[in-house]
Amino acid sequence: MRKISIFDTTLRDGEQSAGVNLNFIEKMEIARQLERLGVDIIEAGFPASSEGDFQSVQAIANTIKGCSVTGLSRSVQSDIDSAWQALKRGAEPRLHVFIATSPIHMKYKLRQTPEQVIESAVQAVRYAKKFFPIVQWSAEDACRSDLAFLSTIIEAVIDAGASVINIPDTVGYITPKEYGDIFQHLFNNVPNIAEASLSAHCHDDLGMAVANSLAAVENGVSQIEGTINGIGERAGNAALEEVAVALHIRKDYYNAETSLALKEIKRTSDLVSRLTGMVVPANKAVVGNNAFAHESGIHQDGVLKEKTTYEIISPELVGVATNALVLGKHSGRHAFKKRIDELGFQVSDEEVASLFKQFKDLADKKKDVTEEDLVALILGEKLANYSAVYSLQSIQVQYGTNHIPTATITLKDVHGELQQDAATGAGSVEAIYNTLERMIDADVKLLDYRLQSVSGGRDALAQVYVKMTFDGKETSGRGIAQDVLEASAKAYINAINRVLYMKKAALMKKELAL
């Protein structure tokens, strides 16, 4: 049984999804969950792209010790230096360096000859090898590259020190058979190919990312790259949960397996969905809400008699809970804290005190408190404490079919000063946002507003996701509360706080530099 390494790029390629903007706390929570899931490599970001990305990659590398942490780098010395500073304290620091190899990219983007591209790639790998014990080299747009040239440059970078060679289908263009043929060509035409392991990185523009990844496994690849829920640039990446479960269920065919803790898949999927604001479609394979639902009477009859008649994946395999009740209104603080630890979250004593009070309040109002509710409370607390320039103190909304909706809001700023204002709108949410915009005194344009329940039932917690432009910057925010309007206000404030916090941090850095 061959071992397939899993290279997770949710925090790098996944965050490039349109409208996704994760902050430090969110990235760290996802990284910890990926570690629990058992991925082999976490691509934490692109350190040279921004100060925020550098700090996130550095913090993740310093914290995560159960798997290797890597960062992306162009074939530029300054990028490699930045990546080393961010990753050097990791458990197994490695670099992911890339350069484009297709004729169209070399001509129009790089404006380099093939010979110059080879020279740039070799120099980058050789320089990176001075610092990093493991250097992964990627041929951007490899699937539209000339195979003879691809073989030549791969031989050169392996000689220079690259120990992992990644063949990405950057634009989601290739078919499974064609992709497999590329790997066979490399095995047969690169003399030193045995000195490196091969990796596959597929995009889903034609809906074939998972199929192409599995074709790569069939043709000798030992590492698969992708993201949780398949999120990513344009149509996204290969969904790692689908690849892993396919290899598990059909190990008789692929003769390959991963080291993932499959029971952590559903929890990881839910966390990534909640923090990115990208809802998982109900019919999504492995993790969608309908993945284990049977509507047809014939199917229902078969499943009741013998599950395997229509169910090739058991819900328990991927961590779909059969009993959602975790705690009750009479549960004590010790049991509450133990459950938080079991969920894998790290919280301070102050956060536990605040969360326990919120839990008790929720338990008084809600018949059943589920694991999803608890996770929502924990994430809500962490988001509220991070970059909290403004916090919501109170909200009151007056609404009637024959009256103009009016919102009255009280905010507390970082200095502890209270501010109160009121405004009207065509609806309750608009009244809230008009009030907040007036209080913040800035031009805000709402780009997206999404509302969903955390769990089922009329008493479910509400989760609101917003995307907006504020002060010329695109930002997003999330809010969780039992009341939809309160959650709406919290999401708006969270989005505003992100921009204000980053502006404050940039100003402090500039002052220190002076």
* DSSP structure string for 41-72: EEEEE-GGG-HHHHHHHHHHHHH--SSEEEEE
Q: Which CATH architecture has domain 2-276?
A: Alpha-Beta Barrel (3.20)
Q: Locate all alpha helices (DSSP H) within 106-144, ordered by sequence.
A: 114-128
Residue 135: which residues within 8 A CB-CB, separation 6 or more? 94, 95, 97, 125, 128, 129, 161, 162, 163, 164
**What is the chain's pLDDT, residue by residue, as a tens digit (514 residues)?**
999 999 999 999 999 998 788 888 889 999 999 999 999 999 999 999 988 899 999 999 999 999 999 999 999 999 999 999 999 999 999 999 999 999 999 999 999 999 999 999 999 999 999 999 999 999 999 999 999 999 999 999 999 999 999 999 999 999 999 999 999 999 999 999 999 999 999 999 999 999 999 999 999 999 999 999 999 999 999 999 999 999 999 999 999 999 999 999 999 999 999 888 888 999 999 999 888 875 455 545 555 566 667 678 999 999 986 544 457 777 788 888 888 887 778 888 888 898 999 888 888 887 677 777 888 888 878 776 666 789 999 999 999 988 999 999 999 998 899 999 999 999 999 999 999 999 988 889 999 999 988 877 778 889 899 999 988 888 888 898 889 999 999 999 989 988 887 776 666 555 545 5
User: What pTM did the predictor assign?
Assistant: 0.87
Indicate the SS3 state at residue 192.
coil
At 214-251, the pLDDT tens digits run: 999 999 999 999 999 999 999 999 999 999 999 999 99
**DSSP letters along 358-370, please?**
HHHHHHHH-S-EE
CATH number of the domain located at residue range(s) 389-513 in this protein = 3.30.160.270
Q: Are 138 and 201 in contact (CB under 8 A)?
A: yes
User: Residue 126: beta bridge partners?
Assistant: none
As a whole number of angstroms, the distance between CA 16 and CA 319 comes to 27
Tally of CB atoms within 10 A around 296: 10
The length of the chain is: 514
- Give residue limits of the domains in the chain: 2-276, 292-320, 325-384, 389-513
Q: Which of 379, 372, 373 is nearest to 347 (CA)?
A: 379
Q: Do the domains at 2-276 and 389-513 have one common CATH topology?
A: no
Q: Are 410 and 420 in contact (CB under 8 A)?
A: yes
Residue 404: which residues within 8 A CB-CB, separation 6 or more? 424
Indicate the SS3 state at residue 271.
helix
- The DSSP H or E segment spanning 491 is helix 484-513
Q: Which of 197, 183, 221, 233 is nearest to 17 (CA)?
A: 233
